[in-house]
Amino acid sequence: MITGWGSHHIDCAHWAMDTEYTGPIEISGTAEFPEKGLWDVHGNFRTEALYANGVRMIVSGDFPNGIRFEGTKGWLFVSRGNEQVTASDPVSKLQDTQALSASDPGIIKSPIGRNEIHLYESPDHHGNWLDCIRSRKEPIAPAEVAHRSCSACLLHHIAMETRRALHWDPKKEKFQNDDAANAMLSRPQRAPYVLPKANAANFTSYTHSHS
């Protein structure tokens, strides 16, 4: 779940925090892992990540399916509402069926001024990708941003497994003074599906598409 829905939500959180090309500096968390059966992925979990800008991100399967931003003047919650793209998608289970809600409705209704921040507009994700192939412009979802959102999820998962605070260097993309955690950044590769050694540590980070 952390690298499934997690990459979609962390992706959008990074966009909002202006941390799309970096990552957390400290991660910690706990999770329940099955002791028997076919699957070895995490069950119930709660993780936290601290970013260099001072923002703390909390991720848990116990929360509604969406992103909640908390600030000094209130909160804003963003989700898909109770819409499902596929039959297996979890709905938000909100009392309010809207995909956008806030502590003060005025936050949502407030118009964005001409000199305020205006985000990249992309009404069609696949269409934007095709348009940018033709125009050579940067798409709304570049590969590096996808890597950063998915790699952040993998950091949360490593924190679940180690059950201790981990210190991450977003520039070097390595844990600081932690050989055991760094050993979990890659897996043995099976020939002929092998990447050059210099890129092996990022192998699992590029296997999930950007939302």
Residue-wise pLDDT tens digits, 138-153: 999 899 999 999 999 9
Going by pLDDT thresholds of 50, 70 and 90, the confidence category of residue 57 is: very high
Please give the pLDDT value at position 12: 92
Q: What is the pTM of this model?
A: 0.82
Domain ranges of the chain: 5-206
Q: In what order do the strands lie in the sheet with 166-169?
A: 56-60, 45-50, 26-31, 166-169, 174-175
Q: How many helices (H) and strands (E) in the chain?
A: 5, 8
CA distance 3 to 211: 12
Over residues 164-190, the pLDDT tens digits come to 999 999 999 999 999 999 999 988 889
15-31 per-residue burial string, b: 16 or more CB within 10 A, e: under 16: beeebbebbbbbbbbeb
Please give the pLDDT value at position 187: 86
Please give the pLDDT value at position 93: 57
Assign a CATH topology to domain 5-206: Dihydrodipicolinate Reductase; domain 2 (3.30.360)
Pick the range with the lowest mean pLDDT from 48-57, 78-87, 128-137, 149-158.
78-87
Return the amino acid letter for 118.
H
- The terminus-to-terminus CA distance of the chain in angstroms comes to 15
**Averaged over 88-104, what is the pLDDT?**
70
Closest by alpha carbon to 96, among 76, 70, 71? Answer: 76
What does the CA dihedral 11, 16, 20, 23 come to, rounded to 10 degrees? -80
Over residues 10-36, the pLDDT tens digits come to 999 999 999 999 999 999 999 999 999
Rg (CA), the chain: 18
Over residues 98-136, the pLDDT tens digits come to 688 899 988 888 899 999 988 888 888 889 999 999 999
Please give the pLDDT value at position 202: 46
Going by pLDDT thresholds of 50, 70 and 90, the confidence category of residue 201 is: very low
Pick the range with the lowest mean pLDDT from 73-77, 181-185, 203-207.
203-207
